[in-house]
Amino acid sequence: MVLATAALPVVEVASFGLAKGAVFALLALGLVLIYRTTGVTNFAHWGIGLSGIVIYFLLTSKAHTPTPLAAIISIVACAAIGAISYRLVFRYVKRTNQLVLILIALGVAQFFAALTAWGFGFEPTTIVKPWLPVSNIKVGTAEVQSTQVIAAVVAVVISLLFMAWFRYARTGRALRAVAQNREAASLAGIDEHRYSMIAWAIGSALAGLALLLIIPHTSGQSGGVITTGDTTPFGTFLIPAFGAALVGGLVNLPLAVVGGFIFGLAQEMLILAPSPWGGLRSTIAAILIVILLLMHMERFFVARAELEALEA
C-alpha cells in the first residue's frame, strides 16, 4: 500500500513513547515497592515526585545551582520527603483498614498538590531548565531527541539495578521479608518500620528521578513547562503509572517496568493510528486498566499469604 504513513514520524513518536514509558516504569517501580512493603496505594506518588521538581526549580532558578547537582539534590530530597511521609503519617495507620489507608493517601496527595503549587509561585506556567545534554540524534532519516534516549536507557538500567538489589542485597532481602510476612520478619530481628521507611525513601527517589528525566526536557533546549494542570493531586502520569504497576498486579517488579513501556508506547503510538482509532489515545489507559483490574494479575505473582496480608 502506498499510503502517507511513510511520511509519519514513526521513529520520533516511538522515541517519545519510550521516554514516557521509562517514566511510567520508574513511577510504577516505586508504587509497587511501597505497596508491597507497606500496603499503601500511594496516590501521593506524583505529588512527591513533583516536589522534587519544585526543589530542582528553586535551586536552579533562585540559587543558581548547576543543573546536574540540583537534580541530584532534588532526588535525595525526594527520598527524604518519602521517608518523612512514612514516619509522620503512614506509620500510624494500620494497614488492615484499606478505606482509611486510601483516604489518608488522598489527603497526602492533596497536601503535595498544594505544596507544589505554592513552590512554583502560582504561575500559570513555569519553565524548568534542562539538566541532561540536549541534542538531536540521527536515526536513519529521523531525528530523535537525546534526552528521550537517555531517559529510556536510564530507566532500564536503574530498574535492573534496583531489581538485582531487591533480590540479592541484604536490605532488599529484608524488604522482601517485610513484604511477605511482617510478623516473621520482625521475629527475625528486622525492624519493620525502619525498612518501611527505606522502601518509602527509595520509591520516592525513583519518582523524583522519573519526573526529572522527562519534565525538564519536554521542549528540548528551552527546558520544560509546568502548568497549573500539573500541580494537581494526580497530575497526568499517575493513572498510567498505576496501570503499569497493575500489569504486575501491583506486586511484580519486572512486569511493572514492562507495563510502563507498554503504556507509554500505547499512548503515543496511537497518534499514528488512522482516524477512528486515533481517538482511542485518551482512553487506552482506562481500557487497559479495567482489563488488568478484572484479570486480578496479582494472583499469579505472590503467595496467597502475602496477598491476604495486603488485602485484609
Partner 1 sequence: MTAVTAAETAIAEPDAGVRARGVSLGRLRISRSRAIAGAVLLGLGFIPVVVPHHDFWMYIGAYIAVWAMLELSIVVVTGFAGMISLMPFTFVGIGCFASGVAVSVWGWPFWLAVPFAAAATVPVSIAVGAASVRLKGLYLAIATLTFGNALGETLFKWNAFTGGQQGHTIVRPKLGVLSFRGDFSFYVLAMLVALLLVWMVHGLKASRVGRAMLSVRDNEREAQALGINAIKTKLTALVIGGAIAGVGGAFYLALLRTAAPAGFQSPYVEISSVLLVVWAVIGGIDSAFGAFLGATALIVQQQVYQGVGERLGAWLGLYAAAILVVFLITRPGGLVQVVKIQRERIHSDRIRGGIETFVILAINVVIVYLILHFGK
**308 vs 207: CA distance, rounded Å:** 27
**Chain-centre distance for alpha carbon 195:** 20
| Residue 172 or 249 with smaller CB distance to partner 1 | 249
**311 lies in the binding site for partner 1 (CB under 8 A):** yes
| Residue 87 or 173 with smaller CB distance to partner 1 | 87
Q: Where are the alpha helices (DSSP H) in the chain?
A: 10-38, 45-61, 67-88, 98-119, 146-168, 170-180, 182-187, 192-214, 238-247, 253-269, 275-278, 284-295, 304-311
Single out the segment in contact with partner 1 by CB under 8 A; choices: 15-23, 57-65, 240-248, 254-262. 240-248
Helix (H) or strand (E) holding 128: strand 125-128
Q: How many other C-beta atoms lie within 10 A of the C-beta of residue 126? A: 21
Q: How many other C-beta atoms lie within 10 A of the C-beta of residue 163? A: 16
**125 lies in the binding site for partner 1 (CB under 8 A):** no
| Residue 10 or 118 with smaller CB distance to partner 1 | 118
**221 lies in the binding site for partner 1 (CB under 8 A):** no
User: Residue 134: helix, strand or coil by DSSP?
Assistant: coil
Shortest Cβ 102–partner 1 spacing (Å): 5
Residue 97: closest CA among 311, 242, 249: 311
**273 lies in the binding site for partner 1 (CB under 8 A):** no
Single out the segment in contact with partner 1 by CB under 8 A; choices: 74-82, 153-161, 267-275, 285-293. 285-293
Helix (H) or strand (E) holding 144: strand 142-145
Residue 97: closest CA among 39, 42, 44: 39
Could you tell me the sign of the dihedral formed by the alpha carbons of 238, 193, 170, 176, in that order?
A: negative
**81 lies in the binding site for partner 1 (CB under 8 A):** no
Among 118, 167, 184, 273, contact with partner 1 (rule: CB under 8 A): 118
Judge contact between 71 and 131, C-beta under 8 A: yes
Which residues, numbered 21-60, are part of the site for partner 1 (CB under 8 A)? 41, 43
**207 lies in the binding site for partner 1 (CB under 8 A):** no
Torsion of CA 208, 210, 215, 219, to 10 degrees: 150
**107 lies in the binding site for partner 1 (CB under 8 A):** yes
Among 16, 131, 200, 242, contact with partner 1 (rule: CB under 8 A): 242
| Residue 89 or 149 with smaller CB distance to partner 1 | 89
| Residue 43 or 131 with smaller CB distance to partner 1 | 43
The residue written with cell numbers 519536554 in the block is 218
| Residue 233 or 264 with smaller CB distance to partner 1 | 233
**203 lies in the binding site for partner 1 (CB under 8 A):** no
The residue written with cell numbers 517485610 in the block is 178
**307 lies in the binding site for partner 1 (CB under 8 A):** no
| Residue 43 or 200 with smaller CB distance to partner 1 | 43
**218 lies in the binding site for partner 1 (CB under 8 A):** no
Residues contributing to the site for partner 1 (CB under 8 A): 41, 43, 89, 92-94, 96-104, 106-111, 113-115, 117-118, 122, 229-230, 232-236, 239, 242-243, 246, 250, 282-283, 285-287, 289-290, 293-294, 311
